[in-house]
Structure 1
Amino acid sequence: MSAGPAVQHDAAPVRAPEQHRGPRAHRGAGRADRVREALRRALPALGLYAAARLSGMTVMAAWAWTIGKHPRTLLGHLWDGIWYTGIARNGYGLVLPSPTTRGVVFNDLAFFPLFPGLVRAVATVLPLTVVTAGLLVAWASAGAAAWGVYAVGERLHGRRVATLLVLLWGLLPHAIVQTMAYTESLMTALAAWALYAALTGRWLWAGGLALLAGLSRPNAIAVAAAVGCTAALALWRDGRTRGDWRVWAGAAVAPVGWAGYIVWAGYRSGGGPLGYFEVQRLWGSRFDFGKDAFRFIRHLIVARDYMAYYVTLAILVAALVALVYLTLDRPPAALLVYVLVLVVIAVGGSSYFASKPRFLLPAFPLLLPAAVAMARARPRTIAVTAGALAGLSFFYGTYLLAVARVPM
């Protein structure tokens, strides 16, 4: 397994004009060189990713215009995007009873604060509307996520597999969500770089990024679990790490963001430290060990329903198969713990069946076995596979935003 050629810069000779700079300046310059070199290696993958997502948005926009819908509205102000926009504009405090479902109460405390906070900051600094700022944050997050996915793939399997991993992530059937004003891209960016930091022993970075990820989405507890388990394994396997305060600190701060918001939102809702879960229950969302998902799958078999639900079922089955293959490949513990938690939350959570693929969007390590297999294939096979995935992704993304009437 290749650690990437970036480490070669550590031994580069110091140029004459820099000889009077202090050790800290040398370290800063070396770090900047490594970042630039890492970005240079990732550029082909990022270019493919940008082309895939721009093509997908173009297809969706063309269809949206033909049926009288505005692409910006579909991407930036649809379903959860409406709630994030409201929080960015007015803060928390909106509680609405469901107009269609008895006993369901919509409370904006269900949404974590990092994404709307960033949107508000961008809209304050730049002359942009909140909706446009939300799209800007989402697109920047998607780019950072693609780079992080590449970094993890390159660390484990080299550049070819990493490039295909990024391409596969950008061509998922529901990849249109990556360019919507949703939180999945932001969480994936923070998660990917936190996992990379854990794989490379950068414990403070891993803990800090896990803390931020925990402020982005409820299922981001998977990032803290991955960092915590990786730190525990390092402490158990190598006695020398027990004296390194950075390992302990990284593991300690990793869950702070997620737990901090859960407690704050619970008290804000009037339900005490665990009141957040009552907020989720009133939304109709809870963890029931997959009972609701099983009932819904049974309904799909015996009754007609929207195509989105059948595609959701197919994606869940594919995710479980990919999890088996990933486990058999014996990946690093950080990746395995991360995807296990995400899959358990996605499958075991109740209600909003069509949203489950979106909940799995940050679980990019599930695509590693497919990326490895593609890397061994002939170029023609790779091109045909990528073309087929692109057609499916562009069609289904357009369907989700411009045709389907199911919550995403």
Structure 2
Amino acid sequence: MMLVLAAQQDQNAWTAAAPRYVDFASMWDGRWYNIVAVAGYPAELPLTDDGHTAENAWAFLPVYPLVVRTVMILTGAEWAVAAVAVSVLAGFGAALVTYRLFREHLDAGTALFGVVIFSVAPVAPVFQVAYAESLHLLLLSLALLLLVRRRYGLLMPVVVVMGFTRPSALAFALLLGLHLLVRIVRRDREPFASGELPLVIGATLLSGLVGLAWPAVAWAVTGSVTAYTDTELAWRSVYIGYQHLIPFTPWFQGFEWWFGRPLGWIGVILLVAGFAVALTSRPVRMLGLEVRLWLAAYALYLLAVFFPQSSTFRLLVPFFPFAGAIAVPRSRVYRTTVVMGSIALQWLWLLVAWRVDGYDWTPP
């Protein structure tokens, strides 16, 4: 699909007409990661003509471009080749770890089909482009597996690296906090092993600190306490103008922009209600409590800070455990329909979000 679209791609801001596969797979945010890899982060925030913070590299965390830069140095490969290779290999690793995660609560056949759904999901093409999603998913699936297995000591370094790969550490801190409360309430049924309690507390605090660390780094380098949030807000300014970040308002602002009021607000409420129902469904309950807590924590995080637009579909990738729940029904007709429908939606996502069509306002 990527090759077909690349052959038909017109000249654009990132590539010439009919670019190579690796160049086509390195467009959009791939250029920002490239900038970070070769030039780092700006010491002064760039400003728009009216004095607001402009889009800049501080929105992109450093682990993925650092890994790609290391591969470039070790192999001599150019950015596009190294970036795509890292993403593809990390995606394979994430699929393997996801299978292990699913096997904690699902039988082998269901777990394996869950990995099939994971691999052909509507936004699965993002696993082969110059984005940090594959690497983040590898780390996230590993972190969840370690949590399920109560390997809290090994979990902590994974949380640190993950938190500097994609913004997720605050959501994971919420997960760990909820997990700690559950362990305390259920301590008669599952008592803490020797040394476990301080490890859980330490992992929770560490994840929270990591979640706050990148905004602090941006502040220290630029001198602006709001450098990171102002940078993130620059991307939504084309929709609603420059505004302050008020938690739990972006989805209402976004749905109002897309659908008007009160229809947009009703849509958000229905979306939240539908998600809550999904979390209590039998297939999702089969995934285990820790996975369900992650789904809830990440959903709350998205609801608090993210503005819904075309890249939101990519931001749903950390909900990947839902693939295990979707895999539970065993009907061949159902499973075939799910796979074919997912591949069709891949085409839709690529056509709407990845392919550049003139002045394109639907970034992936």
TM-score, scaled to structure 1 = 0.72
- Structure 1 residue 180, shift from structure 2 partner: 1.4
Structure 2 Cα separation of the partners of residues 351 and 89 of structure 1: 29
1:35 alignment counterpart: none
1:386 alignment counterpart: 339
Q: Aligned match of 2:229 in 244, 263, 277?
A: 277
1:161 alignment counterpart: 110
1:65 alignment counterpart: 7
Structure 2 Cα separation of the partners of residues 293 and 301 of structure 1: 12
- Write the deviation string for residues 109-143 of structure 1: whole angstroms up to 9, x where unpaired: 22111111111111111111122211111112111
Map 1:8-407 → 2, pairs under 5 A: 59-67=1-9, 68-70=17-19, 71-76=21-26, 78-93=27-42, 95-98=45-48, 103-238=52-187, 239-241=191-193, 243-244=195-196, 246-272=199-225, 275-284=227-236, 287-289=245-247, 291-301=249-259, 321=274, 323-329=276-282, 330=285, 331-351=287-307, 353-373=309-329, 376-377=330-331, 379-403=332-356, 405=360, 406-407=362-363
Structure 2 Cα separation of the partners of residues 357 and 151 of structure 1: 25
- Give the secondary structure class of the aligned counterpart of 2:363: coil
Mark the CA change 1:152 to 1:74 in structure 2 (over 3 Å): closer, same or farther: same
Mark the CA change 1:194 to 1:140 in structure 2 (over 3 Å): closer, same or farther: same
Mark the CA change 1:88 to 1:185 in structure 2 (over 3 Å): closer, same or farther: same
- Write the deviation string for residues 78-117 of structure 1: whole angstroms up to 9, x where unpaired: 2211111001011111743357x87341231221111111
- Give the secondary structure class of the aligned counterpart of 2:168: helix
Mark the CA change 1:102 to 1:278 in structure 2 (over 3 Å): closer, same or farther: closer
Mark the CA change 1:254 to 1:298 in structure 2 (over 3 Å): closer, same or farther: closer
Structure 1 Cα separation of the partners of residues 217 and 257 of structure 2: 38
Which has the greater radius of gyration? 1
Greater helix share, structure number: 1
- Counterpart contact for 2:46–2:56, Cα < 8 Å: yes
Structure 2 Cα separation of the partners of residues 163 and 258 of structure 1: 32
Mark the CA change 1:407 to 1:187 in structure 2 (over 3 Å): closer, same or farther: same
- Counterpart contact for 2:310–2:353, Cα < 8 Å: no
- Counterpart contact for 2:72–2:82, Cα < 8 Å: yes
Structure 1 Cα separation of the partners of residues 350 and 276 of structure 2: 24
What amino acid is the match of 2:89?
A: A
- Give the secondary structure class of the aligned counterpart of 2:137: helix
- Give the secondary structure class of the aligned counterpart of 1:354: coil
Structure 1 Cα separation of the partners of residues 340 and 308 of structure 2: 30
Give the aligned length.
Answer: 336
- Structure 1 residue 167, shift from structure 2 partner: 1.8
- Structure 1 residue 397, shift from structure 2 partner: 2.2
- Counterpart contact for 1:150–1:162, Cα < 8 Å: yes
TM-score, scaled to structure 2 = 0.80
What is the alpha-carbon root mean square deviation over aligned residues? 3.3
Structure 1: gaps spanning 5 or more residues: 1-58, 303-313
Structure 2 Cα separation of the partners of residues 402 and 301 of structure 1: 25
- Counterpart contact for 2:62–2:164, Cα < 8 Å: yes
Structure 2: gaps spanning 5 or more residues: 10-16, 238-243, 261-266
- Structure 1 residue 235, shift from structure 2 partner: 4.5
- Give the secondary structure class of the aligned counterpart of 1:182: coil
Mark the CA change 1:69 to 1:258 in structure 2 (over 3 Å): closer, same or farther: farther
Mark the CA change 1:341 to 1:116 in structure 2 (over 3 Å): closer, same or farther: same
Mark the CA change 1:146 to 1:323 in structure 2 (over 3 Å): closer, same or farther: farther
- Counterpart contact for 1:287–1:345, Cα < 8 Å: no
- Counterpart contact for 2:126–2:133, Cα < 8 Å: yes
- Counterpart contact for 1:290–1:349, Cα < 8 Å: yes
- Write the deviation string for residues 313-358 of structure 1: whole angstroms up to 9, x where unpaired: x9x9889735522334445342223222322333443546111111
- Structure 1 residue 391, shift from structure 2 partner: 2.4
- Counterpart contact for 2:58–2:231, Cα < 8 Å: yes
Mark the CA change 1:208 to 1:227 in structure 2 (over 3 Å): closer, same or farther: farther
- Give the secondary structure class of the aligned counterpart of 2:127: helix
2:241 alignment counterpart: none
- Counterpart contact for 1:173–1:397, Cα < 8 Å: no
What amino acid is the match of 2:144?
A: L
Structure 2 Cα separation of the partners of residues 161 and 320 of structure 1: 27
2:263 alignment counterpart: none
- Counterpart contact for 1:212–1:257, Cα < 8 Å: no
- Counterpart contact for 2:63–2:164, Cα < 8 Å: yes
